[in-house]
Amino acid sequence: MAELVETPGENFFITAVKIIINYGLRFISYMFLTFSVAVIVAILLVIATTAFGDSLSFEFLKHFAFVNPIFGQESMSLGLKEVMQLYLALSLGMSILVEILKFILKKVFKKEIIISIKRKIVYGMIFVSIVFIAAFISVPFMNMAEGETSSGFYVVFAIFYVLTLISTTAYIGMNELAKKISAA
């Protein structure tokens, strides 16, 4: 939790405004993150359903029953809340691994990982692009009802690709801006 500590030369009001702006930016940035995660999960489900069809199993979700007991059930219905809970658990695990790696690099090898905002945006765009390239590749293999065509998916995927790129970039940019404001 942020502390209202008055620093020399900075009054309480300025510190309070910085904290409010910081939380506001982070709140808005998480909306962009939620959109990106939801779209990417939906696209990955389309790809998995196309690739595995009826043999697709979500049996692995039982390992996440500690996050939400619904994941341990035989049959379940996943909504945005459950998807974001899975994302939370997975991203927390990845964050812990990254922090351990940073600690080892810093203490043992005297190195530090610094990723610029430009690189974060590029890495985000690369990840989103890889997911959507796989989606575009999967379109011809989709099982469609007789007389239906899957070509409309190209347009839908293209629209969501652009929106997800914008959303991911907005999340990264707003998060970095919030960090700079709190550090100023």
What three-state secondary structure class fits 144?
coil
Residue with tokens 């974060």: 120
> How many CB atoms are closer than 10 A to CB 104?
11
Task: pLDDT band for 79, please (50, 70, 90 cuts).
Answer: confident
Q: Tell me which residue of 99, 68, 73, 98 sits closest to 86, measured CA to CA.
A: 68
pTM of the complete model:
0.78
Query: Which sign, positive or negative, has the C-alpha torsion 93, 87, 61, 126?
Result: negative
pLDDT of residue 3: 54
| pLDDT tens-digit readout, 123-144 | 999 999 999 999 999 988 887 7
Q: Which residues of 127-150 are buried (b: 16+ CB within 10 A; e: fewer)?
A: ebeebbeebeebbeeeeeeeeeee
Nearest to 36, CA basis, from 181, 180, 163: 163
Which residues are within 8 A (CB) of 89 and not within 5 positions of it... i.e. 6 or more apart? 64, 67
Q: Residue 146: CB partners within 8 Å, gap ≥ 6?
A: none
Contact criterion met (CB below 8 Å) for 164 and 40: yes
Let me know the angle formed at the C-alpha of 92 by 162 and 84, rounded to the nearest 5 degrees: 50
The dihedral built from the CA positions of residue 155, 136, 158 and 45, taken in this order, carries a sign that is: positive
Give the 3-state secondary structure of residue 10: coil
Give whichever of 47-51, 153-157, 167-171 has the largest mean pLDDT.
167-171
Closest CA to 142 of 60, 67, 48, 74: 48
Q: Which of 33, 89, 81 is nearest to 60 (CA)?
A: 89
Residue 172: pLDDT band with limits 50, 70, 90: very high
In this prediction, residue 142 carries a pLDDT of 83
Residue 17 has pLDDT above 80, yes or no: yes
